[in-house]
Amino acid sequence: MSDFLTSVVAVVAVLGFMILIHEFGHFAVAKWLGVRVEQFAIGFGKRLIGFRRGETDYRINAIPLGGYVKMSGENPMDERTDDPREFLNQSRWHRFLIAIAGPAMNIILAVVLLTAVYTVHYEYPAVYDEPTVIGWVLQNSAAAKAGFQIGDRITRIDGQQNPTWEQIDLKEALSPGQPLDVQVERNGQTLEKTVTPEPTGLDQIGYAGWAPKEDTVTITDVQPDMPAEKAGLKEGDRILALDGTPIPALAAMVERLEATKDKPITLTVLRHGQQKTFTVQPILLEKRYRIGIGSMQMKAKTLPFAQAFSLSLHNNRQNALLILELVRKMAERKISVRSIEGPIRIGQAAGEAARSKGWTPLMQLTAAISLNLGIFNLLPIPILDGGVIMFLLIEGLMRRDISLTIKERVYQAAFVFLVLFAVMVIYNDLMKTIPGLADRLP
């Protein structure tokens, strides 16, 4: 199966499953509370296939961009009756439960999937267990300009005491162009510094220019059809030198490539106890010179169920807070909207996960998408579940319904916003994906 077809099948399966779980949450609670459900649909537009059971039409529609559960009397613009089985004749508490059930199912699914993954294969970068000692500082980077040095140990960043490298990476990525207060230990002294990560890459995320201390630089990933693979480099090769100069960290190699640009380089590696030399021709890709290797040492282990469940809860909570912080910073224009991934990029990620060994990579991606879908639907945007909940809370405080005219205008504005948002996300995906377009980004 071709990579493209694999990506298409994977993204259809993953997103279809996410939508099914989400809509089932609304459906199940509505049925439980006695609301008449007229349609349970995957997709929008014209009905393609389906079946009717009882009062509900279960269907797959032509436009695969979501799904819905159509309940009797849910549209405030429709004429109201006294039928107790209509959605708007339910109490506000019942309507709240129906609205929140969809996102809740997505969040629960994310917890369940990560728990299952962790009981089989919990994998994470080995550097997350290491002291936060800087092993390399890129020349002319934000960290270099702020005075950070090799050997500095980061003891606080942006109020986070004794951070891990994982926490440092997140703070750095979410703070492009924003100063971060950092405390380091150097030769027994405590120093206070301020670093302002620079926006970098297609996503314009923050990058300070420091790298963790590494014992060895070992190739853990060789990208297909890239210079490293063509030159004969393999996973497991330990990089000793570039053009005769020792390489203490992968970041040092990145810096060297920016200096040599498209000139061929000579890499000395250690493979099975023997030194080998390879000549590699770097290429310019996404405004950086690359050879197509990765060096991220990973640790893997299995966890007992209780520990896996606890870790899943913790990680999903941290990821949910991260999503909310990302939304807040985008609203404040502190981080670029380019960081949002749309269906094309999700399809690429799903394809890569599907082609990976084992089922855990695809399950982890599915959990991440499910959590994102759940949190996004809880945002107070009319038309989305969070908008319904927001109106219910306002009406509960007012002790009366908001006028239909106001609701209609708000829904119209929200619809235009969501259409423009979808166009922007797809545009971002195309700019990041289609060769040549990425280089046009400023």
Residue 317 pLDDT: 96
Domains, the chain, ordered by start: 3-109+368-440 (no CATH), 127-212 (2.30.42.10), 221-290 (2.30.42.10), 303-363 (no CATH)
Q: Report the relative pairing of strands 221-222 and 293-294 from DSSP bridges.
A: antiparallel
Alpha carbon 323 to chain centroid, angstroms: 8
Which helix (H) or strand (E) segment is 162 a member of? none
Which helix (H) or strand (E) segment is 289 a member of? strand 288-290
What is the side-by-side strand order in the sheet with 245-246?
A: 245-246, 238-242, 265-271, 274-280
Residue 309 pLDDT: 97
Alpha carbon 58 to chain centroid, angstroms: 31
Residue 144 pLDDT: 95
Alpha carbon 190 to chain centroid, angstroms: 35
Residue 108 pLDDT: 97
Q: What are phi and psi of 183, to 5 degrees?
A: -110, 135
Residue 441 pLDDT: 45
DSSP per-residue letters across 345-378 = HHHHHHHHHHHSSSSHHHHHHHHHHHHHHHHHHH
Residue 359 pLDDT: 83
Residue with tokens 């979501």: 66
Residue 15 pLDDT: 84
Residues 6 or more apart in contact with residue 197 via CB below 8 angstroms: 142, 172, 173, 175, 176, 177, 178, 180, 206, 207, 208
CA dihedral 166, 167, 169, 171 (to 10 degrees): 170
Q: What are phi and psi of 263, to 5 degrees?
A: -75, 140
pLDDT in tens, the chain (442 residues): 566 777 778 888 888 888 899 999 999 999 999 999 999 999 888 999 999 999 999 999 988 778 899 999 887 666 778 888 999 899 999 999 999 999 999 999 999 999 999 999 999 888 999 999 999 999 899 999 999 999 999 999 999 999 999 999 999 999 999 999 999 999 999 999 999 999 987 778 899 999 998 878 899 989 989 999 999 999 999 999 999 998 888 888 988 998 898 899 999 999 999 999 999 999 988 778 999 998 888 888 999 999 999 999 999 999 999 999 988 888 888 888 777 877 777 877 888 887 877 788 889 999 999 999 999 999 998 888 999 999 999 998 988 888 878 888 888 888 888 888 888 888 877 777 765 555 444 4
Tell me the sheet residues that pair with 221. Answer: 294
Tell me the sheet residues that pair with 336. Answer: none
What's the pTM? 0.85
DSSP-derived letter for residue 156 is: E
Residue 425 pLDDT: 82
